[in-house]
Structure 1
Amino acid sequence: MKPYIRTGLIWSALMIAIMVGAVVWMVDALPKDGPVPVHFDMEGTPNRYASRFEAILIFSSLPAISAIVTVILAIAPSLDPRGTNIDAGRKAYVAVWVGVMIVLALATVGSCMILVNAVNGTPAGPGIVRGIIAACALLFVAMGNYLPKTRPSFILGVRTPWTLSSDIAWEKTHRLAGRLFIGAGLLGFLGAFVLDGIWPVVPLVALSMTAALVSVIYSYFAWRSADDRDNGTGRTG
């Protein structure tokens, strides 16, 4: 097993263990009968209820989904025809992998805390929700930092017909995409704490989608001006 895959698996195991622990704690706090809150607004106030069984099923799916994501990330480099490029950019791969797992763990723990507080009659307020949004924003900052360090692959990065057929287009696109996602993450992080209602999540979603769209469009123009657009090697640097 490649060392960076092992690192990702260790982090995943730790985060999934935290998620399972949070879900077990949440299940123990649920009432035996009656409806249970399963959905909350941006202030942490319940706005949908379900049975105890459905609540357990919903929250148990979070560590299960994380385990599936872990398996996909662990085997993806061996399935990618350009897997050696992922090996070369392994720091970026591990950073994104670990960042995703940390955010999933924080979202799971935060959601369980909100539910338990609601069951106990003490609404969590917007603090936990803001924290989850801020964590997502920091993930985008981390992704933006590592995007310029990636190498052409079918798994990670801005994968368009133009970036995959030109190393120069890949480099230029990911330098721009890195800056855009860092900016989106920083503004999203700020918005998580200064905006109210549903608005804290809006800047992060809107800016990240804009960053992705601009990167895709730019990749075409970078390809048009690239000297290797007809004979890219699939590997930069």
Structure 2
Amino acid sequence: MKTKIKLSAFKEIVPLFFIFWAVIIGVGVFMAPCIPDQIPTHWNTQGQIDGYSSKPMAVFLLLGVLVAMYLLMLFLPHLDPLKKNYKEFEKPYYILRLALIIFFVSLYVFTLLAAAGYKLDIKKFIIPSMSLLFIVFGVLMSKIKRNYFVGIRTPWTLHSDEVWLKTHKLGGWTFAGAGILCFFTLWLGDWAFAIFMVIILLAALLPIAYSYLEYKKLGLFKH
């Protein structure tokens, strides 16, 4: 039992490593006199900055959200009524958490680099990184067991293990396929973000619709 606890704690070193460096960079940016008082925190669909936040807000609030998200994902399994199922997809859940942490730490660092005056193209960061994130989600989707916090959670998947399994097999294909297609929107110029969002929306809606149809097909509405 002690060995298992030690191994679980050891795994958390990797996401904590990324968060640690986010803290170091964030504090460094906050202390740097060359950083302006207003930091870019929002970009429009053309990749142009259209929103700013104060330096403390951008540096520490975003960092706080990052840490809170990590802690939330760490403790969510303990709050889930179906927490026993997490043991069956412990590794995929860890990979999902790690992928999300790496993505948001990278986004945080991107924001700080933009504040430092680097000329960066948000599209060249968001599109490839989110495409990769969706591919990772797609690969892991079929391994996720029924729960209330992770995966495609509809009234129909949560009510039936069979509907959950079939929906997540389809979701694995739609998410991975969306990730691959989204990557190529990099070369679509001004249409990139619009088509990117349409692909993501379809990838999410198809499994939801399928879960309803599968639930109906199995005659579970009668119960």
Aligned 1:180-195 pairs, distance under 5 A: 180-191=174-185, 193-195=186-188
- TM-score, structure 1 as length reference: 0.80
Equivalent in the alignment of 1:38 = 40
Q: What is the SS of the residue equivalent to 2:154?
A: coil
Equivalent in the alignment of 1:116 = 116
Aligned 1:1-237 pairs, distance under 5 A: 6=9, 9-31=12-34, 36-39=38-41, 41=43, 46-48=49-51, 54-117=54-117, 123-126=118-121, 129-191=123-185, 193-197=186-190, 199-226=191-218
Q: Aligned pair in 2 of structure 1 residues 148, 22: CA closer, same or farther (>3 Å)?
A: same
- The answer as to whether partners of 2:157 and 2:163 remain within 8 angstroms in 1 is yes
Cα deviations by residue, 1:53-85 (Å, 9 ceiling, x for unpaired): x22222222221111111111111111111121
Query: Alignment length, in residue pairs?
Result: 219
Question: Deviation at 1:49?
Answer: 5.2
Cα deviations by residue, 1:90-109 (Å, 9 ceiling, x for unpaired): 12211210110000011011
Cα distance in 1, alignment partners of residues 26 and 152 from structure 2? 35
Cα distance in 1, alignment partners of residues 26 and 176 from structure 2? 32
- The answer as to whether partners of 2:34 and 2:116 remain within 8 angstroms in 1 is no
Question: Deviation at 1:225?
Answer: 2.5
- Between stretches 35-44 and 86-95, larger displacement belongs to 35-44
- The answer as to whether partners of 2:156 and 2:212 remain within 8 angstroms in 1 is yes
Cα distance in 1, alignment partners of residues 204 and 52 from structure 2? 35
- TM-score, structure 2 as length reference: 0.85
Cα distance in 1, alignment partners of residues 179 and 30 from structure 2? 33
Structure 1 unpaired stretches of 5+ = 118-122, 232-237
Q: What is the SS of the residue equivalent to 1:159?
A: coil
Cα distance in 2, alignment partners of residues 5 and 131 from structure 1? 31
Cα deviations by residue, 1:98-140 (Å, 9 ceiling, x for unpaired): 11000001101111111102xxxxx5142x5412331121111
Cα distance in 2, alignment partners of residues 188 and 3 from structure 1? 39
Q: Aligned pair in 2 of structure 1 residues 132, 4: CA closer, same or farther (>3 Å)?
A: farther
Cα deviations by residue, 1:159-218 (Å, 9 ceiling, x for unpaired): 111111211111110111111011111111221x31334x43333322222211111111
Could you tell me the percent identity over the aligned residues? Answer: 25
Cα distance in 2, alignment partners of residues 223 and 3 from structure 1? 41
- The answer as to whether partners of 1:152 and 1:170 remain within 8 angstroms in 2 is yes
- The answer as to whether partners of 2:30 and 2:59 remain within 8 angstroms in 1 is no
- Between stretches 71-80 and 98-107, larger displacement belongs to 71-80
Structure 2 unpaired stretches of 5+ = none
Cα distance in 1, alignment partners of residues 5 and 216 from structure 2? 37
Cα distance in 1, alignment partners of residues 7 and 172 from structure 2? 22
Q: What is the SS of the residue equivalent to 1:149?
A: coil
Cα distance in 2, alignment partners of residues 77 and 230 from structure 1? 31
Cα distance in 1, alignment partners of residues 222 and 83 from structure 2? 21
Q: What is the SS of the residue equivalent to 1:200?
A: helix
